[in-house]
Amino acid sequence: MTSRFLISHIILRAALVLSRTTQEQTLAYNSLGPSSFTYRRPPLITITIISQTIPPIRHLNPSKMASQPSFSTKIKLAAAHSAPVYMSKSATLAKAINLIHAAARDGVSMLVFPETYVPGYPYFIECYPPLKQVAALAKYAEESVVVDEDLDGVVEACRTTGVSVVLGVSERMKGGYTCFNSQVFVAGGRGGGIKGTHRKLQPTYVERIIWAQGDGSTLKTWKGMLGSEADGREKSWNVGGLACWEHTMLLARQALITQQEHVHAAAWPALSTMAGFEESADSQIEALMKCHALTAQCFVVAASNYVDETCLEWMKENIGEQGFVKRGGGWSAVIHPFCNVLAGPVTGEKEELVTAEVDLKDLGMVKIWVDADGHYSRPEILPFVWDKEAYWEAGKKKHELRVSGVKGGEEAEKA
């Protein structure tokens, strides 16, 4: 009896010590603030005593510890600051494959390519009257990518190297000449492959003479782009993307935020080479990229191409002289959710993989302050919905869709 009483007395004393220590820590935290908080370890003598009443950690249910992943959360992200082999789909895809292998040698987990890297951004649409561009537009459509047919080499490179890729392409619908400004998400590793495609919702200005509008069905984030199912990361992180001034569409960005986007792939052309944008383009890109990083609390990889002599020569030989686009341009970087630039920015006429190691655990520390899909969203005041209908779905008949673009199929027929 005396022995049991003594043990109970010791346990009670240990609990009181822990309680006082916890109170001291709380007071210290509140007085110093989160940036200067220093943890005080409880007295070591309490560990042995309390371990008699609390099961060791190895006895706990692992499912209740999901917030503490056992795998490394440090990965390398990279932006390809690169120019295509202009207006050549096959040659540019070969170049992209070489860049994937180069990224693998540097330990990169995910590589982001510029806007319409294949077959190159159609700078000529900014420079010539529409009727003078007809032959060039037809050639551009021919060199555009049919996703199901043209990307086998890229997919194989991703599977072989383990590098995931977000590839900017001018996408052409199979069996037709309708094109989209698209990003193709390709997962690396043995079980890798094409996860999906995002089509730019609203082509900008004269881009509308070559690209159709995407729909809400491709406004998505994809899992399986960072890590593999074998190590547990496949289901843990979401990757999304947008192209160019699509980043000014706040609700498009919010759609990705509501899907808990962790890494954002941003695709850009060389805006600063265009007449009228020399002084402002890079500042615009930087502002939009940092805004999305903080607003979405995600890492941002911004990849831009640049204009080289082959692009200018192609336009001159096939369409004529122009004075609106020059060599150089581009702005590529990797940005932290708190807007720190982790790598870059790289600008101008140079080939470079802009690479940074990031720790995905940082996302949790940022979201303690701001969580745009949680405690900082206020959905009861600011409800958000978007139309996810696949209006460009293969085989869908036009008469099945309402002109308003809100309803489809049988629901449209009944309306």
CA gap 210, 38 in Å, rounded: 58
For residue 299, the surrounding DSSP H or E stretch is: strand 299-304
DSSP SS3 for 166 = strand
CA gap 247, 336 in Å, rounded: 17
Q: At 316, which amino acid appears?
A: K
CA gap 192, 157 in Å, rounded: 10
**What are phi and psi for residue 109, nearest 5 degrees?**
-90, -35
Q: How many CA atoms lie within 13 A of 278 on its CB side?
A: 7
H-assigned helices in 180-334? 250-257, 281-296, 309-318
CA gap 79, 250 in Å, rounded: 23
**What are phi and psi for residue 101, nearest 5 degrees?**
-65, -35
Please provide the DSSP assignment of 331-358 as one string. EEEEE-TTS-EEEEEEESS--EEEEEEE
CA gap 305, 117 in Å, rounded: 7
Query: Could you tell me the end-to-end alpha-carbon distance of the chain, in angstroms, rounded to an integer?
Result: 81
CA gap 50, 48 in Å, rounded: 6
Identify which of 84, 24, 44 has the alpha carbon closest to the alpha carbon of residue 314.
84
Cβ(69)–Cβ(226) below 8 Å: no
Catalytic residue numbers read 115
Tokens 């990757």 sit at which residue? 239
